[in-house]
Structure 1
Amino acid sequence: MTAVLDCNISFIGGGNMAQALIGGLIARGLPATRITVSDPVEQVRQLLQEKDVQVTEDNVAAIQTADVVVFAVKPQVLAQVLKPLNGLFAGKLVISIVAGAEISTISKLLGTDQVVRVMPNTPALVQTGAHGLYATDAVAEKDRNLASQVLAATGLTIWVNTEAQIDAVTAVSGSGPAYFFYLMESMIRAGKNLGLDEKVATELTLQTALGAAQMAITSSNTPAQLRKNVTSPNGTTQAAIEVFDHGQVSQTIQAALAAAQKRSQVLAQDLSDSVK
């Protein structure tokens, strides 16, 4: 975190993901006075000001003294926000967490090739995010490390080799929390159908999800092996797994992620076309 602690960081857009990053950076020692946020919503600015963060609604003013600028705006206002800032990024690193915004699109709008594209996910709100990052060769190693430090304030950072892989990251981790929530919903509903109180079914499901994730993270075994370890021959777990296999659950999950990846590709192309 040494490099990032010496930086001035500005956020264009102060929504939930920006607030998660800001909270993580402050928790790791970045002085709040080194952070500036530009957002058009007064309530957002007031909330951030309570954390001693500098706030404004002037994007140009926000980036003037910044070393790193994080764009956290909605895709539909991307061109509107970025075009007036073109040519103001000499010596600055740009980090974009704008869904579907390709580096070529950001670079064209801002007039800089010093851009890192990030696909974050919502568990960043509780400092357990999983972030996929990509940058072209135009971004130096020191700036890649700096981007990693900014995102690491809220979770895991993984660099991918091609920008196309960001669409796969979107399918796996960007949308991934919803898949696990879907499974939790189904398990809670099943628990109720089997006679458990909803509160009991919910607590058991959520703690089991947490425990399984923690085991998978800390174990030297793969998730496949961990599953086998708790699947006794002719036991209760095997009975459930056989139903999953009969219903081709694994194949369905793979098809679902492929659909998410394809949709990510389409949205990125639509956004690129809209700003030409």
Structure 2
Amino acid sequence: MDVNRLAGFGKDLHSRIRTFFNTPLDANATPLEIGQAVLDQVERQVQPVARGRRVFPFVGLAIRVRTNPASSAAMIAAFEDFATRVRERLAEVRCEAPRRLDVDVECLEVAPASWPEARVFDVSYIADEALPVKSPARGGGTAPVVHITVVAGTAVESSCRFAEGTVSIGRCADPADDMGYVRRNRIAFLDVVDGINETVGRAHARLRCDAVAGEVRLFDEGSRNGTSILRDGDVIAVHRRDPRGVRLRSGDEIRLGRALLRVEIDG
């Protein structure tokens, strides 16, 4: 087989595997599936910083995985040399990996009492305090203040303002995923069927207010119905799980499925 064709086949197969593993885990998940799910969660921690750079702002990961005596050996094998796999995933999304990255994996035959029954794994992150995303704003300034108004759809609040780092957007205020993780949606659409709200995912998107770069970026978190920005008559796609996100401007409108938000930015 031609080398180029073989390489193309490999990329297509990898894309298919990534798509497959984006589905929620269940009690029958294999060690390989769990390992891929952990990598997907790690990838979502990538942060954009000034001038298009992307960084992983952590120097350590503590991973705990639920297992049982029958699958313990396979689970250990699936997480062997996991630090290398994390670095490879970061390289795939063109993210700068920290020089030092400690990864500790613990396989648990008895899960902590605090874990919901459906939880399969847990990841704790040790921050790298030296990265610029942890630094004060330039010149002692403050993060931009963002005003959001709901134009189409029905939310818990019809308008809100914020200046904190990250704001989650989705349907319901406190949805939980299949593993029992609770998400806090600051912009929460009501869980009703009205032709609009049901097109917003429970974990649809997020906004990140970056005081260092002085900007606000929008990220799609793998939504089914998509995210886009309406700007001066143009439609700008926000690609699913793209760690770069898209920078917002004052006056933009955000489309989440059929729902619509208007954005005004001060500062």
Q: State the TM-score, normalizing by the size of structure 1.
A: 0.22
Larger Rg: 1
Q: State the TM-score, normalizing by the size of structure 2.
A: 0.23
Whose strand fraction is larger, Structure 1's or Structure 2's?
A: 2
